[in-house]
Amino acid sequence: MNSATRNGGQGDLVIEISDLTKNYQNGDETIRVLKSVNLHVRRGEMVAVMGPSGSGKSTLLFVLGLFLPPSSGSYLVSGRDVLSLTRDEQAIFRREMMGFVFQSCDLLENSTVYENLELPLVYAGVKRRERPDRIRDALSRVNLEHRIHQPSNRLSGGERQRVSIARALVNEPEFILADEPTGQLDRENSLRVLDYFNKITEGSNMAMVVVTHDTTTAEHCNRTCVLTDGVLNG
């Protein structure tokens, strides 16, 4: 792994979160899920966010993906305030700037690997003739080129997660958000997926935020932050 990026001391900031809070209202009671969270992630950096269940990890990830609005604070991506975006602009932001990898390896049912990777390109308006190369390129980064026309329901768990990663990469995003990406994989497949993550961040200067329980996953990251009761340390 590149030591410069591992130290996190070089490169531009991709994600800048300052004093970010997220509250839920439960009747008269206000539940503070995220308390004045600060997080800076640079290009080429892979940051792990760890914490016990209910600590607000998923909420933080959803806020980063603009799936949930924060209650207060600021959120800049490459220096641009993204909290002021409209609903459609948020969708454009998701397809142009970020990729998402889910714990449950969510692939579209009754579809091939190619069709799964094609959809983000469809939404991005990429021309049809450009798509096969970009899909092959993304699959080659997770060594799954040979499975390109395979139905997604015939893949193993590890392969499904790798397809999920390739799908996150296909639009060449600025950063990837991963929610427990190895949560449903055995040790061998987990290590393989983490190796791909390392190669991706090193090779492309892409930033990555990984929410995980798993210390092995955290060890593969440049930096680990711990979220406890809505407070982020590290």
- Rounded to a whole number of angstroms, the minimum distance from the CB of residue 92 to another protein is 6
CA nearest to 99, candidates 179, 169, 180: 169
User: Which C-beta is closer to another protein: that of 174 or that of 214?
Assistant: 174
Of 187, 181, 141, residue with least CA distance to 161: 181
Give the phi and the psi of residue 215 in degrees, each rounded to 5. Answer: -70, -30
Contact string 6-45 vs another protein (x = CB under 8 A): ------x------------------------------x--
Q: Which residues of 7-22 are buried (b: 16+ CB within 10 A; e: fewer)?
A: ebeeeeebbbbeebbb
Rounded CA separation 64/126 (Å): 25
Give the range of 17-25, 33-41, 164-172, 208-216 binding another protein by CB under 8 A. 164-172
Contact 107, 164 (CB under 8 A): yes
Q: Which residues in 78-107 contact another protein (CB under 8 A)?
A: 78, 80, 85, 87-89, 91-97, 100, 102, 106
The site map against another protein for 121-160 (x = CB under 8 A) is -xxxx-xx--------------------------------
**Residue 106 beta carbon to another protein: minimum distance, rounded to whole angstroms:** 5
Nearest-angstrom CA–CA distance, 226 and 234:
6
Q: Other C-beta atoms within 10 Å of 135: how many? A: 24
Rg (CA), the chain: 17
Stretch touching another protein by CB under 8 A, among 31-39, 137-145, 166-174, 213-221? 166-174
Shortest Å, Cβ 64 to another protein: 12
Structural contact between residues 164 and 101, judged by C-beta atoms closer than 8 angstroms:
yes
Complex with another protein: residue 21 or 204, whichever CB lies closer: 204
> For residue 56, what is the DSSP state?
S
Q: Is 75 in the site for another protein (CB under 8 A)?
A: no
| Binding of another protein by 62 (CB under 8 A) | yes
Degrees to nearest 5, angle at CA 108 with 107 and 114: 85
Binding site for another protein (CB under 8 A): 12, 43, 62, 65, 67-68, 78, 80, 85, 87-89, 91-97, 100, 102, 106, 108-110, 115, 119-120, 122-125, 127-128, 167, 171-174, 205
